[in-house]
Structure 1
Amino acid sequence: MSDLPPLREVIRTYGLDARKGLGQHFLLDLNLTAKIVRAAGDLSGRDVLEVGPGPGGLTRPLLESDADRVVAVERDARCVAALQDVKAAFPGRLEIVEGDALEADETALVRPGAAVVANLPYNVGTPLLFKWLAQPEHVGSMTLMFQKEVADRIVAAPGSGQYGRLAVMSNWRWQSTKLFELPARAFTPPPKVASAVVHLVPRPEPLAPADGDALSRVVAQAFNQRRKMLRQSLKGLGADASALLDAAGIDPTRRAETLSIKEFCALARAFQALR
Protein backbone atom coordinates (compact mmCIF):
# COMPACT_ATOMS: atom_id res chain seq x y z
CA MET A 1 0.00 0.00 0.00
CA SER A 2 3.01 2.29 0.43
CA ASP A 3 3.13 2.67 -3.36
CA LEU A 4 -0.31 4.29 -3.42
CA PRO A 5 -0.59 8.10 -3.28
CA PRO A 6 -1.93 9.78 -0.13
CA LEU A 7 -5.71 9.99 -0.05
CA ARG A 8 -5.74 13.80 -0.13
CA GLU A 9 -3.67 13.66 -3.31
CA VAL A 10 -6.19 11.22 -4.79
CA ILE A 11 -8.99 13.65 -3.97
CA ARG A 12 -7.13 16.49 -5.71
CA THR A 13 -6.17 14.41 -8.74
CA TYR A 14 -9.69 13.14 -9.41
CA GLY A 15 -11.60 16.23 -8.26
CA LEU A 16 -13.41 14.34 -5.52
CA ASP A 17 -15.20 17.23 -3.88
CA ALA A 18 -17.70 15.54 -1.56
CA ARG A 19 -21.26 15.83 -2.88
CA LYS A 20 -24.11 16.39 -0.47
CA GLY A 21 -26.57 14.63 -2.77
CA LEU A 22 -24.52 11.44 -2.41
CA GLY A 23 -24.17 11.79 1.36
CA GLN A 24 -20.37 11.81 1.04
CA HIS A 25 -18.11 12.41 4.03
CA PHE A 26 -14.70 10.82 3.43
CA LEU A 27 -12.69 9.20 6.22
CA LEU A 28 -9.04 9.73 5.30
CA ASP A 29 -7.20 8.78 8.51
CA LEU A 30 -5.82 5.31 7.74
CA ASN A 31 -5.35 4.64 11.47
CA LEU A 32 -9.10 5.05 11.94
CA THR A 33 -10.03 3.02 8.89
CA ALA A 34 -7.68 0.24 10.04
CA LYS A 35 -9.43 0.34 13.43
CA ILE A 36 -12.78 -0.24 11.68
CA VAL A 37 -11.35 -3.21 9.79
CA ARG A 38 -10.02 -4.71 13.04
CA ALA A 39 -13.45 -4.21 14.59
CA ALA A 40 -14.97 -6.29 11.80
CA GLY A 41 -13.26 -9.36 13.28
CA ASP A 42 -11.81 -12.33 11.46
CA LEU A 43 -12.18 -11.80 7.70
CA SER A 44 -9.98 -14.69 6.60
CA GLY A 45 -11.43 -16.64 3.72
CA ARG A 46 -14.44 -14.34 3.43
CA ASP A 47 -15.74 -11.91 0.84
CA VAL A 48 -16.17 -8.32 1.98
CA LEU A 49 -18.81 -5.97 0.62
CA GLU A 50 -18.02 -2.26 0.91
CA VAL A 51 -20.53 0.42 -0.06
CA GLY A 52 -19.48 3.98 -0.86
CA PRO A 53 -15.69 3.49 -0.84
CA GLY A 54 -15.04 7.03 -2.11
CA PRO A 55 -11.28 7.52 -2.61
CA GLY A 56 -10.54 4.20 -0.88
CA GLY A 57 -9.74 5.12 2.72
CA LEU A 58 -11.44 1.99 4.07
CA THR A 59 -10.80 -0.09 0.96
CA ARG A 60 -7.04 -0.06 1.47
CA PRO A 61 -6.94 -1.67 4.95
CA LEU A 62 -9.68 -4.08 3.90
CA LEU A 63 -7.38 -5.28 1.12
CA GLU A 64 -4.52 -5.59 3.59
CA SER A 65 -6.67 -7.89 5.75
CA ASP A 66 -7.00 -11.65 5.31
CA ALA A 67 -10.23 -11.31 3.32
CA ASP A 68 -10.32 -13.31 0.09
CA ARG A 69 -11.67 -10.40 -1.94
CA VAL A 70 -13.34 -7.03 -1.58
CA VAL A 71 -16.33 -5.98 -3.67
CA ALA A 72 -16.76 -2.19 -3.62
CA VAL A 73 -20.08 -0.73 -4.81
CA GLU A 74 -19.83 2.94 -5.78
CA ARG A 75 -22.30 5.28 -7.50
CA ASP A 76 -19.88 8.11 -8.16
CA ALA A 77 -18.01 7.58 -11.45
CA ARG A 78 -15.20 9.88 -10.21
CA CYS A 79 -14.53 7.54 -7.29
CA VAL A 80 -14.71 4.49 -9.56
CA ALA A 81 -11.89 6.00 -11.61
CA ALA A 82 -9.88 6.85 -8.50
CA LEU A 83 -10.12 3.27 -7.22
CA GLN A 84 -8.41 1.83 -10.29
CA ASP A 85 -4.97 2.50 -8.74
CA VAL A 86 -6.01 0.57 -5.64
CA LYS A 87 -7.24 -2.29 -7.78
CA ALA A 88 -3.92 -2.42 -9.61
CA ALA A 89 -2.00 -2.46 -6.33
CA PHE A 90 -3.91 -5.56 -5.15
CA PRO A 91 -4.24 -7.76 -8.27
CA GLY A 92 -7.25 -10.05 -8.21
CA ARG A 93 -8.42 -8.84 -4.78
CA LEU A 94 -10.69 -5.88 -5.57
CA GLU A 95 -13.82 -5.84 -7.70
CA ILE A 96 -15.38 -2.43 -8.34
CA VAL A 97 -19.09 -2.31 -9.14
CA GLU A 98 -20.45 1.00 -10.39
CA GLY A 99 -24.08 1.36 -9.34
CA ASP A 100 -26.60 1.93 -6.60
CA ALA A 101 -26.14 -0.38 -3.60
CA LEU A 102 -29.87 -0.21 -2.88
CA GLU A 103 -30.46 -1.99 -6.17
CA ALA A 104 -27.51 -4.38 -5.97
CA ASP A 105 -28.03 -8.12 -5.55
CA GLU A 106 -25.68 -9.17 -2.76
CA THR A 107 -26.20 -12.86 -3.53
CA ALA A 108 -24.67 -12.28 -6.97
CA LEU A 109 -21.79 -10.13 -5.71
CA VAL A 110 -20.46 -11.94 -2.65
CA ARG A 111 -20.50 -15.47 -1.28
CA PRO A 112 -22.61 -16.53 1.74
CA GLY A 113 -21.08 -15.45 5.04
CA ALA A 114 -19.74 -12.22 3.56
CA ALA A 115 -18.81 -9.34 5.83
CA VAL A 116 -20.33 -5.96 5.05
CA VAL A 117 -17.89 -3.24 6.14
CA ALA A 118 -18.65 0.33 5.16
CA ASN A 119 -18.61 4.00 6.00
CA LEU A 120 -22.14 4.36 4.71
CA PRO A 121 -23.36 7.46 2.88
CA TYR A 122 -25.61 9.19 5.40
CA ASN A 123 -28.58 9.50 3.07
CA VAL A 124 -28.94 5.74 2.43
CA GLY A 125 -27.54 4.18 5.59
CA THR A 126 -30.84 3.15 7.17
CA PRO A 127 -32.45 1.75 3.98
CA LEU A 128 -29.31 -0.28 3.31
CA LEU A 129 -29.33 -1.62 6.86
CA PHE A 130 -32.94 -2.79 6.54
CA LYS A 131 -32.05 -4.46 3.26
CA TRP A 132 -29.19 -6.42 4.81
CA LEU A 133 -31.10 -7.26 8.00
CA ALA A 134 -33.38 -9.39 5.81
CA GLN A 135 -30.39 -11.49 4.66
CA PRO A 136 -28.95 -13.23 7.76
CA GLU A 137 -28.47 -16.40 5.71
CA HIS A 138 -26.14 -14.60 3.27
CA VAL A 139 -24.58 -11.76 5.26
CA GLY A 140 -22.30 -13.08 7.97
CA SER A 141 -21.66 -9.78 9.77
CA MET A 142 -21.98 -6.03 9.38
CA THR A 143 -19.57 -3.38 10.63
CA LEU A 144 -21.06 -0.05 9.65
CA MET A 145 -20.54 3.65 10.23
CA PHE A 146 -23.68 5.68 10.92
CA GLN A 147 -24.55 9.06 12.31
CA LYS A 148 -24.30 8.70 16.09
CA GLU A 149 -28.04 9.27 16.49
CA VAL A 150 -28.81 6.37 14.14
CA ALA A 151 -26.28 4.12 15.87
CA ASP A 152 -27.88 4.87 19.24
CA ARG A 153 -31.30 3.95 17.84
CA ILE A 154 -29.98 0.64 16.48
CA VAL A 155 -28.70 -0.55 19.87
CA ALA A 156 -31.42 1.08 22.02
CA ALA A 157 -33.12 -0.93 24.77
CA PRO A 158 -36.88 -0.97 25.54
CA GLY A 159 -37.96 1.98 27.65
CA SER A 160 -35.33 4.36 26.31
CA GLY A 161 -36.09 7.41 24.23
CA GLN A 162 -34.14 6.01 21.27
CA TYR A 163 -35.97 2.67 21.24
CA GLY A 164 -38.12 2.22 18.16
CA ARG A 165 -38.62 0.32 14.92
CA LEU A 166 -34.91 0.41 14.07
CA ALA A 167 -33.93 -1.27 17.35
CA VAL A 168 -36.63 -3.95 17.14
CA MET A 169 -35.87 -4.95 13.57
CA SER A 170 -32.10 -4.75 14.09
CA ASN A 171 -32.08 -7.00 17.14
CA TRP A 172 -34.81 -9.55 16.35
CA ARG A 173 -32.57 -11.76 14.21
CA TRP A 174 -29.28 -9.95 14.85
CA GLN A 175 -27.21 -8.89 17.83
CA SER A 176 -25.98 -5.31 17.65
CA THR A 177 -23.12 -3.62 19.49
CA LYS A 178 -22.03 -0.01 19.33
CA LEU A 179 -18.23 -0.12 19.22
CA PHE A 180 -16.89 3.43 19.21
CA GLU A 181 -17.65 7.00 18.17
CA LEU A 182 -15.81 9.34 15.83
CA PRO A 183 -16.00 13.13 16.00
CA ALA A 184 -17.15 15.16 13.01
CA ARG A 185 -13.63 16.54 12.51
CA ALA A 186 -12.41 13.04 11.54
CA PHE A 187 -14.21 13.38 8.21
CA THR A 188 -13.66 15.44 5.06
CA PRO A 189 -15.77 17.50 4.87
CA PRO A 190 -16.86 17.39 8.53
CA PRO A 191 -20.56 16.55 8.91
CA LYS A 192 -22.70 18.42 11.42
CA VAL A 193 -22.90 15.43 13.77
CA ALA A 194 -20.66 12.78 15.30
CA SER A 195 -20.59 9.25 13.92
CA ALA A 196 -20.38 5.78 15.43
CA VAL A 197 -19.49 2.27 14.32
CA VAL A 198 -21.98 -0.54 14.94
CA HIS A 199 -21.24 -4.25 14.63
CA LEU A 200 -24.06 -6.71 13.92
CA VAL A 201 -23.94 -10.52 13.76
CA PRO A 202 -26.82 -12.91 13.04
CA ARG A 203 -28.31 -14.73 16.02
CA PRO A 204 -28.36 -18.55 15.82
CA GLU A 205 -32.13 -18.24 16.14
CA PRO A 206 -34.47 -15.20 16.17
CA LEU A 207 -35.33 -13.93 19.64
CA ALA A 208 -38.88 -15.23 19.04
CA PRO A 209 -40.78 -16.69 16.08
CA ALA A 210 -42.56 -14.21 13.81
CA ASP A 211 -43.23 -13.48 10.15
CA GLY A 212 -40.88 -10.71 9.09
CA ASP A 213 -43.45 -8.72 7.10
CA ALA A 214 -46.05 -8.98 9.86
CA LEU A 215 -43.52 -7.91 12.49
CA SER A 216 -42.40 -4.96 10.40
CA ARG A 217 -45.99 -3.78 9.92
CA VAL A 218 -46.90 -4.13 13.59
CA VAL A 219 -43.76 -2.37 14.80
CA ALA A 220 -44.08 0.48 12.28
CA GLN A 221 -47.70 1.08 13.24
CA ALA A 222 -47.03 0.90 16.98
CA PHE A 223 -44.26 3.50 16.80
CA ASN A 224 -46.08 5.72 14.32
CA GLN A 225 -47.87 7.23 17.32
CA ARG A 226 -45.42 6.20 20.01
CA ARG A 227 -46.88 8.41 22.75
CA LYS A 228 -50.33 6.84 22.44
CA MET A 229 -51.54 3.65 24.08
CA LEU A 230 -51.31 0.54 21.93
CA ARG A 231 -55.08 0.15 21.78
CA GLN A 232 -55.08 3.43 19.85
CA SER A 233 -51.82 3.28 17.89
CA LEU A 234 -52.52 -0.20 16.46
CA LYS A 235 -55.88 0.73 14.94
CA GLY A 236 -54.17 1.55 11.67
CA LEU A 237 -53.36 -2.12 11.07
CA GLY A 238 -56.89 -2.77 9.85
CA ALA A 239 -57.47 -5.37 12.56
CA ASP A 240 -59.31 -5.17 15.89
CA ALA A 241 -56.60 -3.69 18.11
CA SER A 242 -58.22 -4.91 21.33
CA ALA A 243 -58.52 -8.48 20.01
CA LEU A 244 -54.95 -8.33 18.75
CA LEU A 245 -53.58 -7.22 22.13
CA ASP A 246 -55.72 -9.73 24.00
CA ALA A 247 -54.46 -12.56 21.79
CA ALA A 248 -50.87 -11.50 22.46
CA GLY A 249 -51.49 -11.13 26.21
CA ILE A 250 -50.47 -7.47 26.26
CA ASP A 251 -52.09 -4.72 28.33
CA PRO A 252 -53.80 -2.37 25.83
CA THR A 253 -52.82 0.70 27.90
CA ARG A 254 -49.10 0.14 27.36
CA ARG A 255 -47.08 2.17 24.87
CA ALA A 256 -44.84 0.85 22.11
CA GLU A 257 -41.59 1.90 23.72
CA THR A 258 -42.25 -0.39 26.73
CA LEU A 259 -42.60 -3.61 24.71
CA SER A 260 -39.76 -6.08 24.39
CA ILE A 261 -38.87 -7.57 21.02
CA LYS A 262 -40.43 -10.87 22.13
CA GLU A 263 -43.69 -9.07 22.90
CA PHE A 264 -43.66 -7.45 19.46
CA CYS A 265 -43.18 -10.92 17.99
CA ALA A 266 -46.24 -12.12 19.95
CA LEU A 267 -48.21 -9.23 18.46
CA ALA A 268 -46.97 -10.13 14.98
CA ARG A 269 -48.08 -13.74 15.41
CA ALA A 270 -51.50 -12.59 16.62
CA PHE A 271 -51.77 -10.19 13.70
CA GLN A 272 -50.87 -12.94 11.26
CA ALA A 273 -53.50 -15.25 12.80
CA LEU A 274 -56.24 -12.60 12.82
CA ARG A 275 -55.55 -11.73 9.18
Structure 2
Amino acid sequence: MPTQPLHPLPPLREAVKAHGLSASKALGQNFLFDEQLLDRIAAIPGNLDEELVFEVGPGPGGLTRACLRAGAQVIAVERDDRAMPLLAELSDAFPNKLQVLADDALNIDVNAVTGGRPYHIIANLPYNVGTLLFTRWLEPAAWPPQWKSLTLMFQQEVAERIVAPVGSNAYGRLAVLAQWRCNVKIAMKVHRSAFTPPPKVMSAIVHLTPADEPAGVNPRILSRLTEKGFGQRRKMLRQSLKGMDGAIDACEALGIDPTRRAETVSVAEWVALARALSASA
Protein backbone atom coordinates (compact mmCIF):
# COMPACT_ATOMS: atom_id res chain seq x y z
CA MET A 1 0.00 0.00 0.00
CA PRO A 2 1.19 3.61 -0.55
CA THR A 3 3.52 4.91 2.14
CA GLN A 4 3.33 8.47 3.45
CA PRO A 5 6.47 10.36 4.50
CA LEU A 6 6.95 11.05 8.21
CA HIS A 7 6.69 14.78 7.46
CA PRO A 8 5.55 16.68 4.35
CA LEU A 9 8.10 17.04 1.59
CA PRO A 10 8.26 20.11 -0.65
CA PRO A 11 7.61 19.57 -4.37
CA LEU A 12 10.72 18.12 -5.97
CA ARG A 13 11.40 21.16 -8.17
CA GLU A 14 11.27 23.44 -5.11
CA ALA A 15 13.57 21.16 -3.13
CA VAL A 16 16.13 21.13 -5.94
CA LYS A 17 15.96 24.92 -6.24
CA ALA A 18 16.38 25.35 -2.48
CA HIS A 19 19.57 23.30 -2.57
CA GLY A 20 20.90 25.06 -5.66
CA LEU A 21 21.24 21.76 -7.50
CA SER A 22 21.50 21.66 -11.29
CA ALA A 23 21.93 18.75 -13.67
CA SER A 24 25.55 17.89 -14.42
CA LYS A 25 26.34 17.29 -18.07
CA ALA A 26 29.56 15.49 -17.09
CA LEU A 27 27.51 12.96 -15.08
CA GLY A 28 24.91 12.54 -17.83
CA GLN A 29 22.16 13.97 -15.62
CA ASN A 30 18.70 15.06 -16.73
CA PHE A 31 16.16 15.54 -13.93
CA LEU A 32 12.51 14.45 -13.95
CA PHE A 33 10.25 16.62 -11.79
CA ASP A 34 6.78 15.34 -12.78
CA GLU A 35 5.85 13.26 -9.74
CA GLN A 36 2.82 11.68 -11.43
CA LEU A 37 5.11 10.45 -14.20
CA LEU A 38 7.61 9.20 -11.63
CA ASP A 39 4.84 7.30 -9.84
CA ARG A 40 3.88 5.67 -13.15
CA ILE A 41 7.49 4.56 -13.66
CA ALA A 42 7.66 3.11 -10.15
CA ALA A 43 4.45 1.16 -10.87
CA ILE A 44 5.91 -0.67 -13.89
CA PRO A 45 7.43 -3.58 -11.90
CA GLY A 46 4.12 -4.15 -10.07
CA ASN A 47 3.41 -3.94 -6.35
CA LEU A 48 6.54 -2.67 -4.57
CA ASP A 49 5.13 -2.76 -1.04
CA GLU A 50 7.87 -4.27 1.18
CA GLU A 51 9.98 -5.02 -1.91
CA LEU A 52 13.68 -4.14 -2.17
CA VAL A 53 14.70 -1.74 -4.94
CA PHE A 54 18.22 -0.93 -6.11
CA GLU A 55 18.47 2.45 -7.83
CA VAL A 56 21.37 3.90 -9.81
CA GLY A 57 22.00 7.63 -9.93
CA PRO A 58 18.99 8.97 -8.00
CA GLY A 59 20.23 12.56 -8.28
CA PRO A 60 17.74 14.73 -6.38
CA GLY A 61 15.63 11.64 -5.63
CA GLY A 62 12.55 11.99 -7.81
CA LEU A 63 12.30 8.31 -8.70
CA THR A 64 13.48 7.44 -5.18
CA ARG A 65 10.50 9.34 -3.76
CA ALA A 66 8.14 7.43 -6.04
CA CYS A 67 9.57 4.03 -4.99
CA LEU A 68 9.40 4.97 -1.30
CA ARG A 69 5.81 6.17 -1.68
CA ALA A 70 5.03 2.79 -3.27
CA GLY A 71 6.21 1.09 -0.07
CA ALA A 72 9.62 -0.10 -1.25
CA GLN A 73 12.85 -0.24 0.67
CA VAL A 74 15.49 1.46 -1.51
CA ILE A 75 19.25 1.11 -1.79
CA ALA A 76 20.51 3.92 -4.02
CA VAL A 77 24.03 4.49 -5.32
CA GLU A 78 24.99 8.09 -6.12
CA ARG A 79 28.40 9.52 -7.01
CA ASP A 80 27.31 13.18 -7.00
CA ASP A 81 28.06 14.63 -3.56
CA ARG A 82 25.80 17.61 -4.33
CA ALA A 83 22.73 15.34 -4.18
CA MET A 84 23.47 13.95 -0.73
CA PRO A 85 21.62 16.62 1.32
CA LEU A 86 18.43 16.06 -0.69
CA LEU A 87 18.72 12.30 -0.31
CA ALA A 88 19.38 12.72 3.42
CA GLU A 89 16.09 14.62 3.70
CA LEU A 90 14.33 11.72 1.98
CA SER A 91 15.94 9.27 4.38
CA ASP A 92 14.66 11.33 7.31
CA ALA A 93 11.15 11.45 5.82
CA PHE A 94 11.05 7.67 5.27
CA PRO A 95 12.88 6.24 8.32
CA ASN A 96 14.71 2.95 7.78
CA LYS A 97 13.56 2.81 4.16
CA LEU A 98 16.46 4.42 2.26
CA GLN A 99 20.16 3.55 2.21
CA VAL A 100 22.42 5.73 0.06
CA LEU A 101 25.82 4.49 -1.12
CA ALA A 102 28.21 7.29 -2.08
CA ASP A 103 29.97 5.47 -4.91
CA ASP A 104 30.09 4.77 -8.62
CA ALA A 105 27.57 2.09 -9.66
CA LEU A 106 30.30 0.41 -11.72
CA ASN A 107 32.05 -0.43 -8.44
CA ILE A 108 29.01 -2.02 -6.80
CA ASP A 109 28.25 -5.73 -6.48
CA VAL A 110 24.47 -5.42 -6.25
CA ASN A 111 23.95 -8.98 -5.00
CA ALA A 112 26.35 -8.25 -2.13
CA VAL A 113 24.86 -4.92 -1.02
CA THR A 114 21.33 -6.34 -1.11
CA GLY A 115 22.40 -9.04 1.33
CA GLY A 116 21.10 -11.99 -0.65
CA ARG A 117 17.53 -10.66 -0.85
CA PRO A 118 15.70 -10.63 -4.18
CA TYR A 119 15.42 -7.11 -5.55
CA HIS A 120 14.19 -4.96 -8.41
CA ILE A 121 16.48 -2.57 -10.27
CA ILE A 122 14.75 0.69 -11.20
CA ALA A 123 16.81 3.49 -12.68
CA ASN A 124 16.90 6.51 -14.91
CA LEU A 125 20.36 5.41 -16.02
CA PRO A 126 23.06 7.98 -16.73
CA TYR A 127 23.48 7.86 -20.50
CA ASN A 128 27.25 7.53 -20.30
CA VAL A 129 27.27 4.22 -18.35
CA GLY A 130 23.79 2.81 -18.96
CA THR A 131 24.65 0.18 -21.56
CA LEU A 132 27.67 -1.07 -19.62
CA LEU A 133 25.65 -1.55 -16.44
CA PHE A 134 22.81 -3.18 -18.36
CA THR A 135 24.97 -5.83 -20.02
CA ARG A 136 26.61 -6.59 -16.66
CA TRP A 137 23.19 -7.26 -15.09
CA LEU A 138 22.24 -9.52 -18.00
CA GLU A 139 25.24 -11.82 -17.67
CA PRO A 140 25.23 -13.44 -14.20
CA ALA A 141 26.47 -17.02 -14.27
CA ALA A 142 23.60 -18.21 -12.05
CA TRP A 143 20.06 -18.10 -13.45
CA PRO A 144 17.45 -17.05 -12.54
CA PRO A 145 19.29 -13.99 -11.24
CA GLN A 146 18.87 -12.46 -7.82
CA TRP A 147 17.09 -9.50 -9.42
CA LYS A 148 13.35 -9.91 -10.04
CA SER A 149 12.99 -7.24 -12.70
CA LEU A 150 14.84 -4.44 -14.47
CA THR A 151 12.98 -1.17 -15.16
CA LEU A 152 15.47 1.05 -16.93
CA MET A 153 15.28 4.33 -18.80
CA PHE A 154 17.48 4.66 -21.89
CA GLN A 155 17.71 6.85 -24.91
CA GLN A 156 14.87 5.62 -27.14
CA GLU A 157 17.35 4.46 -29.77
CA VAL A 158 19.05 2.18 -27.21
CA ALA A 159 15.70 0.89 -25.93
CA GLU A 160 14.69 -0.04 -29.47
CA ARG A 161 17.94 -1.95 -29.89
CA ILE A 162 17.15 -3.99 -26.77
CA VAL A 163 13.72 -5.14 -28.03
CA ALA A 164 14.59 -5.31 -31.75
CA PRO A 165 13.57 -8.37 -33.82
CA VAL A 166 16.05 -10.20 -36.02
CA GLY A 167 16.61 -8.58 -39.39
CA SER A 168 15.68 -5.07 -38.27
CA ASN A 169 18.14 -2.21 -38.45
CA ALA A 170 18.22 -1.98 -34.65
CA TYR A 171 18.87 -5.70 -34.08
CA GLY A 172 22.26 -6.47 -32.62
CA ARG A 173 24.17 -7.74 -29.63
CA LEU A 174 22.00 -5.97 -27.04
CA ALA A 175 18.88 -7.65 -28.43
CA VAL A 176 20.43 -11.12 -28.22
CA LEU A 177 21.81 -10.65 -24.71
CA ALA A 178 18.50 -9.24 -23.47
CA GLN A 179 16.13 -11.64 -25.21
CA TRP A 180 17.80 -15.04 -24.90
CA ARG A 181 16.72 -15.53 -21.28
CA CYS A 182 14.50 -12.53 -20.47
CA ASN A 183 11.03 -11.30 -21.28
CA VAL A 184 11.57 -7.82 -22.73
CA LYS A 185 9.30 -4.93 -23.63
CA ILE A 186 9.26 -1.14 -23.94
CA ALA A 187 6.96 -0.18 -21.09
CA MET A 188 6.76 3.57 -21.67
CA LYS A 189 8.16 6.33 -23.87
CA VAL A 190 9.16 9.60 -22.23
CA HIS A 191 9.23 12.84 -24.21
CA ARG A 192 12.39 14.89 -24.01
CA SER A 193 10.36 17.86 -22.72
CA ALA A 194 9.69 15.97 -19.46
CA PHE A 195 13.32 16.46 -18.42
CA THR A 196 15.26 19.41 -17.04
CA PRO A 197 17.30 20.23 -19.00
CA PRO A 198 15.66 18.57 -22.03
CA PRO A 199 18.07 16.07 -23.66
CA LYS A 200 18.53 16.13 -27.41
CA VAL A 201 16.85 12.74 -27.82
CA MET A 202 13.67 10.94 -26.74
CA SER A 203 13.77 8.36 -23.95
CA ALA A 204 12.02 5.05 -23.31
CA ILE A 205 11.70 2.68 -20.36
CA VAL A 206 12.54 -0.98 -20.91
CA HIS A 207 11.13 -3.62 -18.56
CA LEU A 208 12.74 -7.06 -18.28
CA THR A 209 11.87 -10.11 -16.21
CA PRO A 210 13.81 -13.40 -16.11
CA ALA A 211 12.56 -16.17 -18.40
CA ASP A 212 13.61 -19.80 -18.51
CA GLU A 213 17.25 -20.19 -19.45
CA PRO A 214 17.98 -22.40 -22.50
CA ALA A 215 19.83 -25.49 -21.29
CA GLY A 216 23.48 -26.17 -22.00
CA VAL A 217 24.59 -22.62 -22.79
CA ASN A 218 27.58 -20.90 -21.20
CA PRO A 219 26.62 -17.19 -20.96
CA ARG A 220 30.24 -16.11 -21.42
CA ILE A 221 30.47 -18.01 -24.71
CA LEU A 222 27.25 -16.42 -25.98
CA SER A 223 28.59 -13.02 -24.95
CA ARG A 224 31.88 -13.60 -26.82
CA LEU A 225 30.07 -14.92 -29.89
CA THR A 226 27.82 -11.90 -30.16
CA GLU A 227 30.67 -9.51 -29.42
CA LYS A 228 32.63 -10.92 -32.34
CA GLY A 229 29.68 -11.36 -34.66
CA PHE A 230 28.20 -7.89 -34.22
CA GLY A 231 31.59 -6.23 -33.78
CA GLN A 232 32.03 -6.57 -37.54
CA ARG A 233 28.42 -6.31 -38.73
CA ARG A 234 29.22 -5.93 -42.41
CA LYS A 235 31.33 -9.04 -42.56
CA MET A 236 30.09 -12.56 -43.10
CA LEU A 237 30.11 -14.94 -40.16
CA ARG A 238 33.03 -16.85 -41.64
CA GLN A 239 35.08 -13.69 -41.20
CA SER A 240 33.68 -12.22 -37.99
CA LEU A 241 33.67 -15.55 -36.09
CA LYS A 242 36.91 -17.03 -37.39
CA GLY A 243 38.71 -16.04 -34.17
CA MET A 244 36.55 -18.40 -32.10
CA ASP A 245 37.68 -22.01 -32.22
CA GLY A 246 35.01 -24.26 -33.67
CA ALA A 247 32.52 -21.48 -34.46
CA ILE A 248 32.52 -21.93 -38.23
CA ASP A 249 32.29 -25.72 -37.94
CA ALA A 250 29.37 -25.28 -35.54
CA CYS A 251 27.62 -22.97 -38.01
CA GLU A 252 27.90 -25.57 -40.74
CA ALA A 253 26.79 -28.41 -38.45
CA LEU A 254 23.71 -26.42 -37.43
CA GLY A 255 22.84 -25.41 -41.00
CA ILE A 256 23.70 -21.74 -40.41
CA ASP A 257 25.23 -20.52 -43.65
CA PRO A 258 28.60 -18.90 -42.75
CA THR A 259 28.13 -16.38 -45.57
CA ARG A 260 25.27 -14.79 -43.58
CA ARG A 261 25.78 -11.64 -41.55
CA ALA A 262 25.20 -11.35 -37.82
CA GLU A 263 21.99 -9.31 -38.06
CA THR A 264 20.26 -12.15 -39.97
CA VAL A 265 21.00 -14.72 -37.23
CA SER A 266 18.06 -15.13 -34.84
CA VAL A 267 18.34 -15.24 -31.06
CA ALA A 268 17.55 -18.97 -31.18
CA GLU A 269 20.36 -19.54 -33.71
CA TRP A 270 22.87 -17.60 -31.59
CA VAL A 271 21.81 -19.72 -28.61
CA ALA A 272 22.24 -22.93 -30.65
CA LEU A 273 25.73 -21.81 -31.68
CA ALA A 274 26.66 -21.00 -28.10
CA ARG A 275 25.30 -24.35 -26.94
CA ALA A 276 27.42 -26.22 -29.50
CA LEU A 277 30.55 -24.35 -28.43
CA SER A 278 29.71 -24.76 -24.73
CA ALA A 279 29.52 -28.53 -25.20
CA SER A 280 33.03 -28.65 -26.65
CA ALA A 281 34.58 -26.15 -24.23
Question: What range describes the TM-score normalised by the shorter chain of this pair?
Answer: over 0.9
Between 1:206-215 and 1:88-97, the stretch displaced more is: 206-215
Question: Which residue of structure 2 aligns with residue 29 of structure 1?
Answer: 34
Higher mean C-alpha displacement, 254-263 vs 47-56 = 254-263
Identify the match of residue 186 of structure 2 among 164, 178, 181: 178
- The aligned counterpart of 1:215 is 222
Instruction: Identify which of 89, 93, 99 aligns with 1:95.
Output: 99
CA-CA distance at 1:66 after TM superposition: 2.8
Aligned to 1:74: 78
Q: Which amino acid aligns with 1:236?
A: G
- Counterpart CA distance in 2 for 1:146 and 1:266 is 29
Asked if 1:3 is matched to 2:8, the reply is yes
Name stretches of at least 5 consecutive residues in structure 1 with no aligned partner: none
| Residue deviations 1:208-227 (CA, integer Å, cap 9, x gap) | 53111110011111111212
In the TM superposition, 1:149-164 aligns within 5 A as 149-164=157-172
Q: Does 1:262 align with 2:268?
A: yes
Q: Is the 8 A contact 1:247 1:270 kept in 2?
A: no
In the alignment, is the contact (CA less than 8 A) between 1:112 and 1:140 conserved in 2? no
Aligned residues: 272
1:47 aligns with 2:49: no
- Identical-pair percentage: 51
1:230 to 231, 237, 244: 237
For residue 202 of structure 2, what is the amino acid of its counterpart? A
Normalised to the residue count of structure 1, the TM-score between the two structures is: 0.93
Output the amino acid matched with 1:77.
D
CA contact (8 A) 1:208 1:265 kept: no
Equivalent of residue 137 in structure 1, options 125, 129, 145: 145
- Give the Cα separation in 2 of the matches to 1:104 and 1:249: 42
Q: Mapping of 1:105-116 within 5 angstroms?
A: 105-110=109-114, 111-116=116-121
Shift in Å, 1:63:
0.4
| TM-score scaled by length of structure 2 | 0.91
Q: Give the aligned CA root-mean-square deviation in angstroms.
A: 1.7
Q: Secondary structure at the match of 1:213?
A: helix
The match for 1:38 is 43
Q: C-alpha displacement at 1:240, in angstroms?
A: 5.2
Could you tell me which residue of structure 2 aligns to residue 18 of structure 1?
Answer: 23
Q: 1:236 deviation in Å?
A: 3.1
Matched position secondary structure for 1:179: strand
Distance in 2 of aligned mates of 1:17 and 1:127: 25
Q: CA deviation at 1:180?
A: 1.4
SS in 2 for 1:244: helix
Taking the aligned partners of 1:143 and 1:72, their CA distance within structure 2 comes to 14
* Structure-2 residue corresponding to 1:123: 128
Give the superposition deviation at 1:9.
Answer: 2.2
Three-state SS of the structure 2 residue aligned to 1:158 is coil
Q: Is the 8 A contact 1:113 1:141 kept in 2?
A: no
Q: Distance in 2 between matches of 1:274 and 1:116?
A: 35
- Give the conservation status (yes or no) of the 8 Å contact 2:216–2:279: no
Q: Is the 8 A contact 1:15 1:78 kept in 2?
A: no
